Amino acid sequence: MANYDNLHIFIFPFLAPGHQIPMLDMAKLLAARPNIKVSMVTTTQNLTRFRSDISGGARGLNIDLHVLDFPSEAAGLPEGTSDNFDSVDRDVCGNFLDAVMLLEAQADDLVRVHRPDAIISDLYVPWTDNIARKYGIPRVGFNVSSCFAMAVTNGVLDLLYGTGRFVEPKTERFLVPGLPDEVFVTMAQNPSRFFKNLDAMEFFMKVAEAERNTNGIIFNTFRELEPMYLDHYKRTSGKKAWALGPYLLYNKEQTDMTNRGQVSNINKNECLTWLDSQKPNSVIYVAFGSLCVFNEAQLLELGLGLEESNHPFVWALRNDNKVGPDILALEERVRGRGLIIKGWAPQAMILDHSSVGGFLTHCGWNSTLEGICFGKPMLTWPLFADQFYNEILVIERLKMAFGIGVDTGMEWGVEDELGAQVKRDQVASAVNRLMSGGDVVEEMRERAKELSKLGKAAVIKGGSSWESIDDLIGEFMDHKKKRQEKNEI
């Protein structure tokens, strides 16, 4: 094992579960190497999301927490607004991003006092670029999406802003230019479309500028999953790309799997007992991430479709999804065959169980990668952001999924106006296709198992991700030695 000379790394996650969870997993990977100290920077309310995981220090991990005061009042947020993006009302999300930008001064003071040797920053915390350049510290960006989705997004932006070509109608498929293979998308799937009501153009422009100034990008992926696109990023950007994932495979203890992100809203033993009572590969797990808010009509159609399918299911529902009397009545009717979890679900633990044979997912990258890690074929229902591009990856490239038939998603903040885009019979038919087997599904299942094995091999000593971690730490050490030689530290 390589020996590192007391390297101190500051990590700045964006304040949302889909960003915090993988960055904390990555912190564990780094702190598990000898003589590496990691400091996570977060805000007061988010401490509760980190503390149970940070107690991993008892296992010899040198991980610290530094806390910033979230400037709600200065950003014009209502009193009592959460420090976390998943709990913020849609109509003040722009103010939330303003508050994130106002954290820079506090973070600058922290870096000035502690003088870390390197900064790893979520791309959605762009002001870390200013701090890194001010103190001469190397800064590496952290992308919560797949490398494939980032490449497609950049290709579409080049088309829009480079040539000014807007494709109409929005549902017409077009070839994304400049990619290593043919990728066809529509303007209706363009990530920026779903955030047009967020009033955050200035924020995203700062994100893009900070990305251009990074030393490189870390991806939560592994080389064997998307090799062409990792090479494409390095070739087109002139920067390094480190594939260090899948991070979640670092969590060996069941408590880590159960409470990953925050404490689950269901008792671990209750959940496991229910799963143990089901036949192998008989259960479909249904979850749409921490940011999806379905309207009541769509929730009901989804629930009725699951009921109509007659297959056992576990359905994770956000607490603030509109669970009306019809959903509660459905819960009673399917009791025993369907397990509905209202709030945070132990997703990794569920997907790792042998009774789970399929995953209905929104294709957020964290969820997609978890499905890959645990070898589960997927039924895809993308909603916004990079999710349509991740869907293309798992269906057309990895061949371990098929779509429910959604061509366009939700616009941020107007979910209640959409009604039910997917009807119950469409849900039931797709679930039956996935869970009833057949040659095509069995081929998907075998492909998923193969990718799972590759992911697990990547993170052990000698694997591609293990070697990428060595390379990243070596990069930071080279910077530290150069600064020492110049008497800068």
- pLDDT at site 198: 67
Q: Is residue 340 part of a domain?
A: yes
Are 112 and 194 found together in one domain? yes
Residue 19 falls in the annotated catalytic set: yes
Q: pLDDT, tens digit, for every residue of 158-214?
A: 887 765 555 666 778 899 999 999 999 998 888 876 666 666 778 888 998 999 999
Q: Is residue 440 part of a domain?
A: yes
Are 451 and 466 found together in one domain? no
Active-site choice (53, 117, 122, 129): 122
Q: Alpha-carbon dihedral of residues 422, 424, 429, 430, nearest 10 degrees?
A: 40
The range of the structural domain enclosing residue 226 comes to 7-245+460-485
Task: Collect all residues with Cβ–Cβ distance below 8 Å to 326 and sequence separation of at least 6.
Answer: 296, 300, 303
Q: pLDDT, tens digit, for every residue of 100-131?
A: 999 999 999 999 999 999 999 999 999 999 99
Are 295 and 310 found together in one domain? yes
Are 207 and 309 found together in one domain? no
CA 332/CA 347 separation, integer angstroms: 23
Q: Is residue 97 part of a domain?
A: yes
Count CB atoms within 10 A of the CB of residue 231: 14
- pLDDT at site 26: 94
CA 93/CA 113 separation, integer angstroms: 31
Q: Is residue 264 part of a domain?
A: yes
Which domain CATH number covers 374? 3.40.50.2000
Tokens 């994304």, residue? 176
- pLDDT at site 262: 55
- pLDDT at site 260: 55
Contact 81, 94 (CB under 8 A): no
Each residue's pLDDT, cut to its tens digit, for the chain (489 residues) gives: 445 578 999 999 999 989 999 999 999 899 989 999 999 999 988 887 777 666 544 467 889 999 999 999 999 999 888 888 888 887 888 899 999 999 999 999 999 999 999 999 999 999 999 999 999 999 999 999 999 999 999 998 888 776 555 566 677 889 999 999 999 999 888 887 666 666 677 888 899 899 999 999 999 999 999 999 999 999 999 999 999 999 988 766 555 555 555 556 677 888 999 999 999 999 999 999 888 888 888 999 999 999 999 999 999 987 656 678 888 899 999 998 999 998 889 999 999 999 999 999 999 999 999 999 999 999 999 998 899 999 999 999 999 999 999 988 777 666 667 778 899 999 999 999 999 888 999 999 999 999 999 999 999 999 999 999 999 999 999 999 988 888 776
Are 200 and 181 found together in one domain? yes
Contact 68, 103 (CB under 8 A): yes
Contact 320, 340 (CB under 8 A): no
Are 298 and 180 found together in one domain? no
Q: Is residue 2 part of a domain?
A: no
- pLDDT at site 57: 45
Active-site choice (8, 19, 311, 362): 19
Task: Collect all residues with Cβ–Cβ distance below 8 Å to 221 and sequence separation of at least 6.
Answer: 146, 147, 230, 243, 245, 246, 369
Q: Is residue 62 part of a domain?
A: yes
Are 209 and 335 found together in one domain? no
Are 115 and 99 found together in one domain? yes
Cis peptide, bond prior to residue 382, ω within 30 of zero? no
Q: Is residue 337 part of a domain?
A: yes
Are 261 and 387 found together in one domain? yes
Q: What are phi and psi of 217, to 5 degrees?
A: -125, 140
Residue among 260, 267, 270, 281 at smallest CA distance from 369? 260
Are 373 and 278 found together in one domain? yes
Residue 8 falls in the annotated catalytic set: no
Contact 333, 310 (CB under 8 A): no
Are 221 and 319 found together in one domain? no
Domain total in the chain:
2
Beta strands across the sheet bearing 118-122: 63-68, 36-43, 7-12, 118-122, 139-143, 216-219, 240-243
Q: Is residue 1 part of a domain?
A: no
Are 306 and 196 found together in one domain? no
Q: Alpha-carbon dihedral of residues 134, 135, 140, 144, nearest 10 degrees?
A: -70
Residue among 330, 335, 333, 393 at smallest CA distance from 361? 393
